[in-house]
Amino acid sequence: MHRGEKRRRSRSLDRYGRKRRESSVERTDSPRNNSQAFQDQRASLPVGKYKAELLQAIEANQIIVCIGETGSGKTTQLPQFLLEAGYGDSKRIGITQPRRVATTAVAKRVGEELAASGVSPKAVGYTIRFDDQCTTETKIKFMTDGILVRECLQDPLLQQYSIIMLDEAHERSIHTDILFGLLKSMLKQRPDLKLIVTSATLDDERFAAFFNDCPVFRVPGRSFPVDIYHSKTHQIMGKTGPVSTYIQAAVDTTLQIHTHEPEGHILLFLTGQKEIEEACSMLNSRMRRFNEEERLNPDNPRIPRLLVLPLYGALSSAKQRRIFNPSSGRKVIVCTNIAETSLTVDGVKYVVDAGFTKQKVYNPLRGLESLIIVPISQVSAQQRAGRAGRTSAGKCYRLYSKQSYESMLPETVPEIQRSNLANTILYLKVLGISDVVGFNYLDPPAEDAIIDALRQLYVLGAINDAGEVTDTGKDMAQFPLEPRLGRCLLEGIRLGCGKELMIIVAMLSVETIFMYQNEKRTHDEQDQHSIARRQATKLLEKHYHTKGDHL
C-alpha cells in the first residue's frame, strides 16, 4: 500500500482500527450552521419587520421613544440596525442598561450575532463597574446607566457618541432618570446627537411630552395566551418583611409543575441571593430524594432530570450565562426581578411568582439606606406572567390571592423618589447645575429629600455656603462611592492612612463581606482554601485578646 494512502486511511480509523464515527456535535457547531442559526433567530424576531421604518424615524428625528414588548428583539437588534446604518462609522453607538447582568449578557449576544454575520466581534464592547471591555475598535458600547452618568462628568457633551439608546427605561433607575434630564438639555447643544428611549411598558404619552412631543414608535412582541392561577394565600407584611413562607410554597409549586406538566422551562421569581440559594438547595435536595426513591422502587414512575440554575446580580458572569446554554432536560431558573424584562430565556413556559421584590429605601431620620422586601407592583406582576407566553401558550402560578394583586401599587415607585439623593445632587453640582430643585426631573423627588442631600453635602464640605461645589466636592465625585465614604477616603489620604481607609471603605461598599462556596471545589481550590484558613488562623491568634471584641 502506498504510504500516503495509508496515512489518509489511518485518519479515518480510530486507535483500535475501527472506522471513526462522524461527530454530530461537530456538524451542529460548525461556523456555517451557527451563522445560519443566528440568522434564522434574527429573522424570526418581530422588530426585524420594522427595520426600515425604525431607521427612517431615527433619521428624521433627534429623539424617538420606542415601545417594544419583551421578546420583540429591540435590545439586541436595534444596536445592529444602527451599526448597519452607519452610526458607528465615525463615533460610537452608546447603549445603557440598568443592570450589570443584562449589560454583559446582551453585549455577548450581539457580539456573537455580528461575528456570525462576518463583522468583527471587537466591534462590540461593554463597560460595567470594575470591568471595561472596550477597545479603540469598539463601535457599539454597552454600559450600565451609572457608567454613562460618570462619563458625563468627564465629557459633559458626550462627544464620542453619535447616538445614545437608553434601554429598559421603564425600570426607572435613579441614573436613568438623571440621564433623561441631562440628555434633554445636552441635545440642545449637540444637534448631531440622537437619542432613543426604549421600554417594554411605559407611559408613552408622558414620555413623549417630556421629550418635546417626540414621536413614539411601537413594536409588537410575540405573545401567546397565558393562564394565570392565583393562590388563596394573602400577602401579609410584618414589621421586618413578609410573614408568609413563600419560599417553601415556591419550591413545592415548581416541583408540582416538573412532575405533572409537559416540557418547558420554569422561571421562579424570588427577591435576592439568600432566598435563591436556599430555594436552589431545597430543589436539589428534593430531586436527590426522588432519585433515591426511584432507585429503591424501580416500579415507581420515573421523574425527569431537573437542572436548577440561580440568577442574581452578585453571581459571576460565567455562571450567569449558564441560563442560556442548551439543555436536554427541563431548566428551572431561580431569579430576581432581573428576568422580568432585561433578559429573555427561550423555552420558558411556566412562571412561579412569589409576588415580592427587594427595594432600596432611604430613611432620612437615620440617614441610612436599606434593602427591604416589599410586594411587587401590578405592572411587574403582568411582566412576570408574560414571560410564560413568549414562545407558546404558558402558565403563571402566583403565590398570592387575587385580592393581594388588586391591593398592589399600579406601578413601581421610581428609585429617585425613595433613595438618598446626596450622590445624585453632587453629580449635578459638578456638572454646573446650580438649581437642583428646578432640574428637569421626569418625576421630581420630594423637596425635603433634596434639602436633606444638600445638608449632607454641606456638612461633608462638598458645597459651600452659596451652594457651589468645592474642590473637595469635585474630588469626592471622582470616586464611585457614596459622598460620606468618598470624604472618608480623601481624609485618610490627607492623614497618611489611605491604605487602611481603602480597606474599611471597601468593606462598607458591598452588601456582604462573606463569600459562600456552595459548589464542589477542585483539588487546587481545596489547597488554596486550606492555605487561606491557616493564614486566617494565624492572624486571629496574633490579634486575639480575651478582653477584645467578638471578632
Which of the listed residues 416, 451, 466 is the one where a domain comes to its end?
416
Task: Give every CB contact of residue 253 below 8 A, 6+ residues apart in sequence.
Answer: 352, 397, 399
Cα–Cα distance for residue pair 217/77, rounded to 1 Å: 15
* pLDDT for 5: 45
User: Is 421 contained in some domain?
Assistant: no
Cα–Cα distance for residue pair 351/376, rounded to 1 Å: 15
User: Is 425 contained in some domain?
Assistant: no
Task: With beta carbons less than 8 A apart as the criterion, state whether 245 and 268 touch.
Answer: no
Q: Identify the domain containing residue 144 by its residue range.
A: 46-219
Do 540 and 468 belong to one domain? yes
User: Is 54 contained in some domain?
Assistant: yes
User: Is 179 contained in some domain?
Assistant: yes
Which of the listed residues 192, 219, 246 is the one where a domain comes to its end?
219
* pLDDT for 402: 93
Which of the listed residues 416, 438, 456 is the one where a domain comes to its end?
416
- How many other CB atoms are there within 10 angstroms of residue 82's CB atom? 23
Task: Give every CB contact of residue 28 below 8 A, 6+ residues apart in sequence.
Answer: none
Do 243 and 206 belong to one domain? no
Do 269 and 347 belong to one domain? yes
Task: Give every CB contact of residue 73 below 8 A, 6+ residues apart in sequence.
Answer: 42, 45, 46, 47, 48
* pLDDT for 168: 86
The kind and range of the H/E element at 509 are helix 498-509
* pLDDT for 189: 92
At 126, which CATH number? 3.40.50.300
C-alpha to C-alpha distances, 429 to 179, 474, 476, nearest whole angstrom: 14, 9, 12
Do 214 and 258 belong to one domain? no
Cβ-count burial 29-48 (b if 16+ within 10 Å, e if not): eeeeeeeeebeeebeebbbe
* pLDDT for 282: 93
Do 364 and 393 belong to one domain? yes
Do 382 and 460 belong to one domain? no
Do 343 and 201 belong to one domain? no
User: Is 272 contained in some domain?
Assistant: yes
Cβ-count burial 155-190 (b if 16+ within 10 Å, e if not): eeebeebbbbbbbbbbbbbbbbbbbbbbbbebbeee
CA triplet 158, 138, 144: central angle to 5 degrees? 55
At 459, which CATH number? 1.20.120.1080
Grid cell, residue 336, equals 430576581
Residue with cell 440561580: 310
Local structure of residue 430 (DSSP, 8 states): H
Residue with cell 407584611: 237
User: Which amino acid does the sequence have at 57?
Assistant: A
Region class of 151: left (phi > 0), else alpha (psi between -120 and 50), else beta: alpha
Do 209 and 95 belong to one domain? yes
User: Is 170 contained in some domain?
Assistant: yes
Burial of 288 (0-12, 13-18, 19+ CB in 10 A): exposed
* pLDDT for 212: 87
Size of the chain in residues: 551
Do 39 and 52 belong to one domain? no
Which segments in the chain show pLDDT lower than 70?
1-43, 201-202, 222, 238-241, 342, 511-512, 514-529, 540, 543-551
Do 321 and 467 belong to one domain? no
* pLDDT for 26: 33
Do 74 and 88 belong to one domain? yes
User: Is 21 contained in some domain?
Assistant: yes
User: Is 422 contained in some domain?
Assistant: no
Nearest Cα neighbor of 179 from 370, 416, 391, 382 is 416
Q: For the segment 519-542, what is each residue's pLDDT rounded down to a tens digit?
A: 555 555 566 667 777 777 777 677
Do 55 and 145 belong to one domain? yes
- How many other CB atoms are there within 10 angstroms of residue 332's CB atom? 26
Total domains, the chain: 4
Q: How far is C-alpha 452 from the geometric centre of its chain's CA atoms?
A: 30
* pLDDT for 116: 85
